[in-house]
Structure 1
Amino acid sequence: MQHDEMIWQVINHQFCSFKTTIGKAKSDKTHFCQHPYSVTGLCNRTSCPLANSKYATIREEKGRVHLYIKTVERAHSPKNLWEKILLSRNYSKATAQLDEHLAYFPKVLIHRNKQRLTKIHQYLIRMRKIKLKEIAGRKAKMVGIHRKIEQREERRERKALVAAKLERNIQKELVDRLAKGTYGDIYNFPEAPYQKALQQQQEKEEEEETDEETDEEEEGMVEYVEDLESDEEEEQEDIEDVQYMGMESGEVKKKTTM
């Protein structure tokens, strides 16, 4: 024979494989129940599915809501301990079925089951809406995101960005100080930025030297240029030759017509 109070004393004060405790201090400790048939998820006398011979809960399986009822008359047969009743998809009809099957159960248990039924119906409606939007192509498929991994990647990106800005600032400052001639060979700086800045400075100086050399070479060069008057005379002679050729062609045409 099942003795509810004795079972609860053992579970409450000793070991229970479904009990989970959160919080270290006595005032902050909260006990939860991981039993699949628990109606509230809390570990207390009224919500314990093991320490109550008369118990009921709501569960969702593959989109359908079922009512599970436990009575003391079936305690001798653990295989048939829970009675499974399929509830209607309509919320008002499902509530009426609850009132019908739980007519002689404690009011607290009936209220908890109605709350659970309401919550399950709400998330089933949301699931159907999301699925319809996915089929219609109006909403992308929802993918779970690991928040800790995302936060870790964001921190790494921020650190890398700060390091990149710092390296650019160091390089710019080194170039400015090298241009002013502040540093000699006795200072110890980061090798890569220092060598890069030094190479840029050397390339700039080499370009300036090549420009000065080309200017000096061009200063000593001598070129011979033709007289401008002779060019004008040649152009005038070419114009007269063209006019003379045009006059001769006109006279030849007149003779042929005559």
Structure 2
Amino acid sequence: MQHDEVIWQVVRHNNCSFVAKSTTGNFCRNPYNLTGICNRSSCPLANSRYATIRQDNGVFYLYLKTIERAHMPKDLWERVKLPRNYYKALEVIDEHLMYWPKLLIHKTKQRFTKMHQMLLRMKPLALKTREKIMTVPTKDKKREARREEKAQRAALLEKSIEKELLERLKKGVYQQSLSNDYPLEEYSKFLDTEKLQLADEEEPEVEYVEDFDELVDEDDMEDFGCFTIDESEGDGENNENGNL
């Protein structure tokens, strides 16, 4: 037989996993708690007749607990879906809590009103785009910095070794030793390609285009005929000037 007072004495004075003690008071972390305060009237464990409001993905539900289902933990809570309209939801709460204590009805409506207002404020905030601040652990930063430093040192070392080997190859240091063990065709090809790359970088590109005179039509040249000078007239004038 369930006795609410005995359960409250055990929960209040011995041990409760949902209680959160602070300097201002004791709070309850049970999701079915109506007010969030750890006291006799708000404890969902020490009240065989209890009602609360819960929200799931924007939908509100009225949860009811009665003494008749105390022997069935699986069916202990009865859930009633509330309408989206605020006033119709209050009517549903009044209908299901018609003969319940007035203080419990008032606290249930108060909880529903607060949760409804909170949901209305959350909707416009969710539509706004905000910057999301991501924290990076210090250990990860140091690890990435060490890896980057090692990669830079390895790249510089590889470039310096490659440059030194190419200089020795150009001077002919490995000419005698490689002639017997390994053919020099690959090295000669590499040197030829390197010379071509250097030549391409130094020499500018030269392009050849058609003569501009070929683009001019003969009809266009005839338009300039009025400006031609007759050679015979020019010679006559020269002779007259000579005689003078």
Instruction: State TM-score, norm by structure 1.
Output: 0.51
Distance in 1 separating the partners of 2:114 and 2:131: 21
Distance in 2 separating the partners of 1:140 and 1:62: 20
- The corresponding residue for 1:101 is 96
Distance in 2 separating the partners of 1:60 and 1:77: 24
Distance in 1 separating the partners of 2:41 and 2:68: 19
- The corresponding residue for 1:6 is 6
Shift of 1:78: 0.6
Q: 1:232-255 deviations in whole A, cap 9, x for unaligned?
A: xxxxxxxxxxxxxxxxxxxx9x94
Shift of 1:126: 2.1
- The corresponding residue for 2:129 is 140
Give the root-mean-square deviation of aligned CA atoms.
2.6
- The corresponding residue for 1:44 is 39
1:175-190 alignment, distance < 5 Å: none
Distance in 2 separating the partners of 1:130 and 1:140: 8
- The corresponding residue for 1:22 is 22
> Where has structure 1 moved over 6 Å in runs of 4 or more?
none
Q: 1:123-145 deviations in whole A, cap 9, x for unaligned?
A: 222233334xx3xxxx31464x6
1:43-192 alignment, distance < 5 Å: 43-131=38-126, 134=127, 139-141=128-130, 143=132
Q: 1:13-49 deviations in whole A, cap 9, x for unaligned?
A: 11111111002xxxx5x11111110001100000000
Instruction: State TM-score, norm by structure 2.
Output: 0.54
SS in 2 for 1:58: strand
Letter paired with 1:2: Q
Shift of 1:5: 0.6
Residue 84 to residue 256, structure 1, CA distance change in 2 (3 Å): farther
Q: 1:100-157 deviations in whole A, cap 9, x for unaligned?
A: 11111111111111111111111222233334xx3xxxx31464x69xx8xxxxxxxx
Could you list the runs of 5+ residues in structure 2 that have no partner in the other structure? 136-237
Residue 127 to residue 10, structure 1, CA distance change in 2 (3 Å): same
Residue 257 to residue 115, structure 1, CA distance change in 2 (3 Å): farther
The aligned length equals 144
SS in 1 for 2:84: coil
Distance in 2 separating the partners of 1:130 and 1:256: 105
Q: Identity of counterpart residues, as a percentage?
A: 54
Residue 118 to residue 76, structure 1, CA distance change in 2 (3 Å): same
Distance in 2 separating the partners of 1:141 and 1:9: 48
Residue 128 to residue 76, structure 1, CA distance change in 2 (3 Å): same
Further displaced range: 66-75 or 98-107: 98-107
SS in 2 for 1:83: strand
Residue 140 to residue 75, structure 1, CA distance change in 2 (3 Å): same
